[in-house]
A and B are shown apart, each in its own frame.
Chain A
Amino acid sequence: MEFKYITMLAGLLLMAFLLYKELRRPNRTRLTWRILANIVAVGCFVLLIVPIRYETHIKQNPDEIILLTEGTNPDSVAKLKGKKYALPPVDLKNEKATILPDLSYFLKSNPNIRKINIYGYGLSKGDLENLKGYQANFHPSVSPSGIIAVNWPDKLKTSDVLNVQGTYQNTGNQAVKLVLRGLGKSVDSTTIEAGSNKTFSFKTNPKQTGKAVYELITLQKNDTLAKEPVPVQVGDQSPMKVLILASFPDFEYKFLKNWLYENQYPLAFRSQISKNKYASDFLNMDSVNLNQINAGALKKFDILIVDEEELAAISPIERSAVNIAVNNGMGLLIRTTGLKPLTTLSAQSNRFEIPALKGKMLNLILTEDNFRLSPLPVEQGLFLRPSQNEQSVITDVSGKTLLSSNINGYGKILISSISSTYNWILSGEKTDYAAYWSKVLSSAARKRTDIQSVNIIPQFPVVNQRMRIITDLSVAGKSPGLTIDDVQLHPRQNMELPFQWDALYWPQNVGWTNLQVNQAIEQLYIYRKNDWQALKYQQTLNDTHRFIKNLSRNTNKIQLTDTVIIEEVSVWWFFAGFLLAAAFLWYEARILAV
């Protein structure tokens, strides 16, 4: 303090002396300039010795960081102040940012950090977990352009339809063509207009047996924007076992019998000839005793097709055996012709009759698939009125139900008022016949319980990235043997569900990989890192948004502390001023004055 004032005083004195000398000088030209130069020189000299300090305010919290994630726009980040950190995939040129190999490690090692500003597409769910308890801001990038949601069944049975559905987000200003391509040819396609979100649904019948990788290709004119793999497996399934009990043989049974026989389905067919006398056919299967229907016999079958008369004619013991079998999962299809239900099993749907119009064709619709079958030359008068807990499986064009389904225990009871479908075969519409009966039998038949099931998290396991394999076993308490890429995994048991086990793995190869669960082999498709990129970005965006929303609800806002920083004005400025002023004085005295 003292020194400062002393120097200032000395400066003033020096200035006064100099000014006096100037005024007394005989040569009075350029006097004012000289006085000015003197003042500047002395002032600067003093300030050289006594530096100027000033205070500034900074809003930034010292405990706050900027986190750059994938998709960050470099231009928008350039203006930001503060410490910048980037997560590995980010590649920012001309931008200084510390690369974080692992976020959780970094946060643990810097416990003073309180606030995190996230830029780009955000963080994955796992990383977001680490941010709990922090204050976070999210500055999202523009939504990615591409397929942002997609789903398809990865395991199909022979003759099943592959249905690829999803959403395409087109943020560009040009229309985009989306093509599903597989097995050497384009299967289905759609166009997505510029700047729109559109759902798509592609259907195809995969014809191969085994694995295949379809491709979902995004085209803009002739440029391929993206090519995403759609792996699909088609496998054969052991056919369902069918039992038909007929009160009398008719064409409907005859054609159904032949059709099932030719498609190699095991089928037992019993039709009554006389009292307690039956004719029985055992097709594609060994013969069993069908004179008495009992639980043991029914256990062998997946579905029972019976007409109502026969169901009423069998003994009450047999009927209760049927009921128990249905309760345990067997399907039951009852064909009705009369208005009044004859048994309790078939009494579920209300029936009503409309006088049949002569010569009118019956147009049937598979309700679930909204698939319209070709018309049947049948005059249909009997319809069903499904109750609240019944599902109508087949309706006619006007929406009147003809076949309804009802859950009974583990199994299902289907009631049909359609009397003759064989007309399809007679008129050569074999595909319609097949579609009808496939739908009916599939929705009724006993469900196959898998011995084990495998789930993979995330949806698209990527090579060299973590994936979680979750297996459900039918037997609890026994650890499954998991082997993948010849690596034995050691699964962990779920604490609440004892039959569920999971394991973590980092797959090594792209493409189909065998996962061995006990003795069975499951096929997994491991994706490349860049597959389904837009979808992943959208997912992290959504996850981060949701996380931030929950976070802001839970944590109070921490006040920004206003820190003051004292800054010094650089002495070089004063030195320069002193030098200039002194130089002027010297120059004036030596050259201009002479």
Chain B
Amino acid sequence: MLKTEGRNWIRNLRIKWISFYLIGTIASALGIALLLSVTGFYLLHLPAWIFAVIFTIVAAILLFSKPVWRSTDFDVSRFLNNRYPELEESADLLLQSETELSALQQLQRNKIENVISNLAQPKEPFKRLYFGLVILAVALLISFGITKIPQINKTGSITEETKNPVSAIKENIPAEISTFSATIIPPAYTGKGERKQKQFTISAETGATVNWKIETNIGIKKLKLIFNDNEIAQPKALNTAHTQWAFSKTIHKSGFYQLDLDGKKSDLYQIEVIPDLPVTIKITQPKQHTTIDIGQPQKFNLNVSLTDDYGINDAFISATLASGKGEGVSFTEKKLSFNTNFDNKKNITLGKLIDLKSLGMKPGDELYFFIKAMDNHGQSSRSDVYFVSIVDTAELMSLAGMTNGVNLVPEYFRSERQIIIDTEKLLKEQSTLPATTFKTRSNDLGIDQKLLRLRYGQFLGEENETEIGGDHDDHDEHAGHKSGEEKFGDVSAITDKYAHKHDIAEDATFFEPEMKAQLKAVLTEMWNAELRLRTYKPQEALPYEYKALRLLKDLQQKSRAYVAKTTVKVSALKPEKRLSGELDKITQPVQKMTFEQKEKRTAYLKTVLALLENRKTGKNFNEQDRFLLGETEKYMIGAAADHPSTYLNALTSLRKLGEAGKPMPKDIDMVQQAIQKMINVEPAKPQAQNAVPASVLYQNYFNNLNKAGR
């Protein structure tokens, strides 16, 4: 039948169109679903079957949004009419039955029929197919990339783990369990990837989520996880046969757990928590107490190094400014930032130049600051408080403290102050003075400074111009005297003649060593000032002068530590009246107390220790022993919850002892070791010594000895 050739062609096209469209749609649905489920599976840790759900939903949406299968042959012919002008808008003629057609239609139909078989296949159906396939390919690529993300994370953590490999602990796993796994998902702040282990012993970061997946080889009615012996959790069964179980828990505290398979309890497994430590702050510069003298720049460099185990989130300087004196002290608090990006780095070294002037500090003010840092888990830590102070020159120059009555120190303080005043005056007048006058005046000041220094030197017992460059040439007074009156045989006189005796500078005065040291420091500063003055650099000399003055001031404060005796009038004591008051109304206080040992723990543990030792011979435990063991178990559960790695094995052994008929020496050893650890170090206690039974014979012997002694 040639007549149906065109119709077939159209039908074929329709079938091809629909099938291609469906394939394309499904491919794109597949791609989208893949993308979504991969994200869900790897990043949000959803189960794998989520893919099926997502796929059906996406496919359904895509399909019903354009129900292509409803398209008929007429739709196709309409499309063909649009697409191919050669068909002359009469493709639908091919679909109508020949009998219904008019002659002209018949004619046209025959014409078209020849044309249509020669037409090229339209490309539209392929477009949809290609589109779907491209989506699928892209989705595949992206999802492949996503699967790699955890691995990238892992490579980081793997290298860490290989550095300190976790020792594989041998575990007893109940026979009912065919496979199991524990997935530890560390909290986000650690930046670590999840890890999967085939071990019940868990070591996880604080706040980590642990997913257990347990598969049993036979159906189990009830599977329980018992945490720390008091918290019971029931995992969900994943299938109706009750062989697959899953459970997840967030871990915040160390402890232990065990499985309960239909009442059959497994070994104890430990859970160890790796805590997140706060940021450690180390200030390398400045020193804890810094004083900024006159002339020094009023700024300082702050160098800090911060370290954290997972990452530093933020750090800032908290500074408090104290200004004013006495009751008028005012405090202003300021928060200074480091202006850097912390980026969750583990180590960071920060530096900041702090300008005290811009903080509004004046001479005499003090700055207290500390550094506060936060890690990415939100834990904050702070450093010690550091002090920076600027010396107040006005305070130094004031006469307060010198004008009052107690003035034990001679007048030399005014001289240093005078030198400072003169230096400042000289500097002020520098521009108006000729250079030579300036130099002579500077030199004169230097001489003044020298004289002052020498005067202080006398306080230290130095005879000459200090020991610095001191000479011993002018000793005429030594050479002259005593030459005439020599005594024969006087050894000391002879030695005196040849010896060059001075007072020892160190011991000549009555100052305390500390004071001497400070005086020496003053002299050094004066020497430095003199040097600058003599070399016509009064500007440079000024800081040294100020420092000398400050040290002198301190010295003065020190010598004011004691108060001179003043006349006090006290009425004379009457010895016969002393302690003769009436005391009959005074009651004698009596206190009575008895100390009660509230804690029975140590006593229990000590008894159990001996009991276990006794049972090493193989005797069975009786009822009373079991009660004691039960008490011990309570204490040990408490200890194991805090330190699972230390006490867990012992707890297992203790339980074995409680259940087993005959105690095993190995278990006893294990429990004994743990108990000894639980009993703290006992400090010594005074114990009376023992003596042999006192018999009359000994007594007589002693008495006779006593008599003989007399």
A residues with CB within 8 A of B: 157-160, 183-185, 205, 207-213, 234, 237, 240, 261-265, 273-284, 287, 291, 302, 409-410, 430-431, 433-435, 437-443, 445-453, 472-476, 497-499, 511-512
Residue in B closest to A275 when the chains form the complex, CB atoms: B579
Q: Is the CB of B689 within 8 A of A279?
A: no
B597 at the interface (CB under 8 A from A): yes
Q: Which residues of B lie under 8 Å from residue A213 when comparing CB positions?
A: 613, 616
Q: Is the CB of A209 within 8 A of B681?
A: no
Q: Which residues of B lie under 8 Å from residue A261 when comparing CB positions?
A: 593, 595
Q: How far is the CB of A461 from chain B (nearest CB, A)?
A: 18
**23 residue pairs bridging A and B, Cβ less than 8 Å apart:** A159-B684, A184-B671, A210-B609, A211-B613, A212-B610, A262-B595, A264-B597, A265-B686, A274-B586, A276-B583, A278-B588, A280-B590, A431-B683, A435-B683, A438-B683, A442-B687, A448-B689, A472-B692, A472-B693, A473-B693, A474-B694, A498-B697, A499-B697
Which residue of A184, A281, A435, A438 contacts B670 across the interface (Cβ within 8 Å)? A184
The A-contacting residues of B in range 246-275, CB under 8 angstroms, are none
Interface 1/0s, chain B 584-607, versus A by CB < 8 A? Answer: 001011111111010000010011
A348 to B149, CA, bound (A): 86
Q: Which residues of B lie under 8 Å from residue A440 when comparing CB positions?
A: 686
A29 to B679, CA, bound (A): 112
Q: Is the CB of B685 within 8 A of A474?
A: no
Residue in A closest to B686 when the chains form the complex, CB atoms: A441
Q: Is the CB of A302 within 8 A of B688?
A: yes
Q: Which residues of A lie under 8 Å from residue B143 when comparing CB positions?
A: none
Q: Which residues of A lie under 8 Å from residue B616 when comparing CB positions?
A: 213
Q: Is the CB of B673 within 8 A of A184?
A: yes
Query: Across chains A and B, which 7 residue pairs bring their CB atoms closest together, nearest first?
Result: A210-B610, A184-B672, A434-B683, A441-B686, A184-B669, A208-B609, A438-B684
Q: Is the CB of A450 within 8 A of B691?
A: yes
Q: Which residues of B lie under 8 Å from residue A208 when comparing CB positions?
A: 606-607, 609-610, 613
Known A287-B592, A450-B691; further 8 A-B contacts with Cβ < 8 A: A213-B616, A275-B579, A283-B592, A434-B685, A438-B683, A448-B688, A450-B690, A475-B695
Q: Is the CB of B684 within 8 A of A183?
A: no
Residue in A closest to B578 when the chains form the complex, CB atoms: A275
B59 at the interface (CB under 8 A from A): no
A452 to B691, CA, bound (A): 10
A520 to B583, CA, bound (A): 53
Q: Which residues of B lie under 8 Å from residue A435 when comparing CB positions?
A: 683-684
A158 to B686, CA, bound (A): 10
Q: How far is the CB of B559 from chain A (nearest CB, A)?
A: 20
A243 to B153, CA, bound (A): 71
Interface 1/0s, chain B 646-686, versus A by CB < 8 A? Answer: 00000000000000000000001111110110010111111
Q: Is the CB of A184 within 8 A of B686?
A: no
The answer to whether residues A207 and B606 also contact, given A476-B695, A476-B696 and a CB cut-off of 8 A, is: yes
Q: Which residues of A lie under 8 Å from residue B670 when comparing CB positions?
A: 184
A472 to B614, CA, bound (A): 29
Residue in B closest to A435 when the chains form the complex, CB atoms: B684
Q: How far is the CB of A209 from chain B (nearest CB, A)?
A: 4
Residue in A closest to B590 when the chains form the complex, CB atoms: A280
Which residue of A274, A443, A473 contacts B583 across the interface (Cβ within 8 Å)? A274
Q: Is the CB of A283 within 8 A of B593?
A: yes
Q: How far is the CB of A115 from chain B (nearest CB, A)?
A: 45
Q: Which residues of A lie under 8 Å from residue B693 when comparing CB positions?
A: 449-453, 472-474, 499
Which residue of B593, B617, B679, B685 contacts A281 across the interface (Cβ within 8 Å)? B593
B702 at the interface (CB under 8 A from A): yes
Count of inter-chain pairs, beta carbons less than 8 A: 183
Q: Is the CB of B690 within 8 A of A448?
A: yes
Q: How far is the CB of B422 from chain A (nearest CB, A)?
A: 42
Q: Which residues of A lie under 8 Å from residue B590 when comparing CB positions?
A: 279-282, 287
A212 to B609, CA, bound (A): 8
Which residue of A282, A437, A445, A475 contacts B591 across the interface (Cβ within 8 Å)? A282
A210 to B688, CA, bound (A): 19
Residue in B closest to A497 when the chains form the complex, CB atoms: B697
Q: Is the CB of A183 within 8 A of B592?
A: no
Q: How far is the CB of B525 from chain A (nearest CB, A)?
A: 28
Q: How far is the CB of B667 from chain A (nearest CB, A)?
A: 10
Q: Is the CB of A185 within 8 A of B579?
A: no
B46 at the interface (CB under 8 A from A): no
A511 to B697, CA, bound (A): 36
A318 to B613, CA, bound (A): 52
Number of interface residues of B (CB under 8 A): 50
Q: How far is the CB of A527 from chain B (nearest CB, A)?
A: 14
Q: Which residues of B lie under 8 Å from residue A283 when comparing CB positions?
A: 591-595
A3 to B683, CA, bound (A): 103
Q: Is the CB of A447 within 8 A of B690?
A: yes
Residue in A closest to B589 when the chains form the complex, CB atoms: A279
B437 at the interface (CB under 8 A from A): no
Which residue of B586, B669, B687, B696 contacts A159 across the interface (Cβ within 8 Å)? B687
Q: How far is the CB of B109 from chain A (nearest CB, A)?
A: 106
Q: Is the CB of B679 within 8 A of A282?
A: no
Q: Which residues of B lie under 8 Å from residue A439 when comparing CB positions?
A: 684
Q: Is the CB of A279 within 8 A of B686?
A: no
Residue in B closest to A264 when the chains form the complex, CB atoms: B595
The answer to whether residues A159 and B685 also contact, given A211-B613, A449-B692 and a CB cut-off of 8 A, is: yes
Residue in A closest to B610 when the chains form the complex, CB atoms: A210
Q: Which residues of A lie under 8 Å from residue B696 when comparing CB positions?
A: 476
A443 to B688, CA, bound (A): 8
Residue in A closest to B603 when the chains form the complex, CB atoms: A209
Q: Which residues of A lie under 8 Å from residue B692 when comparing CB positions?
A: 449-450, 453, 472
Q: Is the CB of B683 within 8 A of A430?
A: yes
Q: Is the CB of A448 within 8 A of B691?
A: yes
The answer to whether residues A184 and B668 also contact, given A445-B686, A476-B696 and a CB cut-off of 8 A, is: yes
B611 at the interface (CB under 8 A from A): yes
Q: Which residues of A lie under 8 Å from residue B614 when comparing CB positions?
A: 210-211, 512
Which residue of A443, A446, A472 contacts B695 across the interface (Cβ within 8 Å)? A472
A278 to B606, CA, bound (A): 41
Q: Is the CB of B686 within 8 A of A438?
A: yes
A451 to B616, CA, bound (A): 32
Q: How far is the CB of B628 from chain A (nearest CB, A)?
A: 12
Q: How far is the CB of A446 from chain B (nearest CB, A)?
A: 7
A339 to B617, CA, bound (A): 62
Q: How far is the CB of A83 from chain B (nearest CB, A)?
A: 45
Q: Which residues of B lie under 8 Å from residue A278 when comparing CB positions?
A: 588
Q: Is the CB of B676 within 8 A of A279?
A: no
A274 to B702, CA, bound (A): 41
B706 at the interface (CB under 8 A from A): yes
A208 to B607, CA, bound (A): 6
The answer to whether residues A277 and B586 also contact, given A183-B609, A287-B592 and a CB cut-off of 8 A, is: yes
Q: Which residues of B lie under 8 Å from residue A441 when comparing CB positions?
A: 686
Q: Which residues of A lie under 8 Å from residue B589 when comparing CB positions?
A: 273, 279-280
Q: Which residues of A lie under 8 Å from residue B687 when comparing CB positions?
A: 157-160, 237, 240, 438, 442
Q: Which residues of A lie under 8 Å from residue B695 when comparing CB positions?
A: 472-476, 499
Q: Which residues of B lie under 8 Å from residue A160 when comparing CB positions?
A: 687
A287 to B607, CA, bound (A): 33
Q: How far is the CB of B31 from chain A (nearest CB, A)?
A: 65
A276 to B582, CA, bound (A): 12
Q: Which residues of A lie under 8 Å from residue B597 when comparing CB positions?
A: 264
Residue in B closest to A261 when the chains form the complex, CB atoms: B595
Most buried by A among B591, B673, B683: B683
Q: Is the CB of A438 within 8 A of B673?
A: no
Interface 1/0s, chain B 619-659, versus A by CB < 8 A? Answer: 00000000000000000000000000000000000000000
A82 to B692, CA, bound (A): 53
Q: Which residues of A lie under 8 Å from residue B591 when comparing CB positions?
A: 279-283
Q: Is the CB of B689 within 8 A of A447?
A: yes
The answer to whether residues A279 and B588 also contact, given A208-B609, A449-B691 and a CB cut-off of 8 A, is: yes
Residue in A closest to B668 when the chains form the complex, CB atoms: A184
The answer to whether residues A209 and B606 also contact, given A160-B687, A473-B693 and a CB cut-off of 8 A, is: yes
Q: Is the CB of A275 within 8 A of B686?
A: no
Q: Which residues of A lie under 8 Å from residue B690 when comparing CB positions?
A: 447-450
Q: How far is the CB of A399 from chain B (nearest CB, A)?
A: 23
Residue in B closest to A242 when the chains form the complex, CB atoms: B686
